[in-house]
Amino acid sequence: MSNYSYFCGIDLAKNHFSLHAVDQNGKVILHKSVTRSKLLTTIANIPLMRIGVEACGGAHYWARTLNKLGHDARIMAVKYVVPYRTKGKNDLNDAVAICEAVQRPSTRFVPVKSPE
């Protein structure tokens, strides 16, 4: 089991990011979309948590940035997220699936690369 009491899935996009966060009991504490400029402000105002993002072009940058804030950001391949999609594919539903996948012990994570 994880040391974290809160978990978040973030669906990264070009201008708007979708976030879904739950506590250890599954109660939703955050479910919304934010602009790129408001992401860090939103994340800075919530408790420390394990955050999942799908592997993509900006995933390593955002994982490093979120880790600097004290969160435990994890990158995962899309194939680990797909089984948790229960509704139609859209950004908020993807964030829900990412949040679910990041809590599972069977999910494998991609190591976060340094900027070099």
CATH of the domain at 95: 3.30.420.10
Contact 76, 107 (CB under 8 A): yes
Number of domains in the chain: 1
On the question of pLDDT at 65 being above 70, the answer is yes
Beta-bridge mates of residue 35? 16
42 is a domain residue: yes
Which has more confidence, 4 or 92?
Answer: 92
Can you give the C-alpha Rg of the chain in angstroms? 13
Beta-bridge mates of residue 110? 75
116 is a domain residue: no
Quote the pTM value.
0.92
98 is a domain residue: yes
1 is a domain residue: no
Query: What does the CA dihedral 64, 66, 72, 19 come to, rounded to 10 degrees?
Result: -130
Q: How far apart are CA 90 and CA 67, in angstroms?
A: 26
Residue pLDDT, tens place only, 40-60: 999 988 899 999 999 998 999
On the question of pLDDT at 75 being above 60, the answer is yes
Q: How far apart are CA 71 and CA 78, in angstroms?
A: 21
103 is a domain residue: yes
Residue-range definition of the domain harbouring residue 87: 6-110
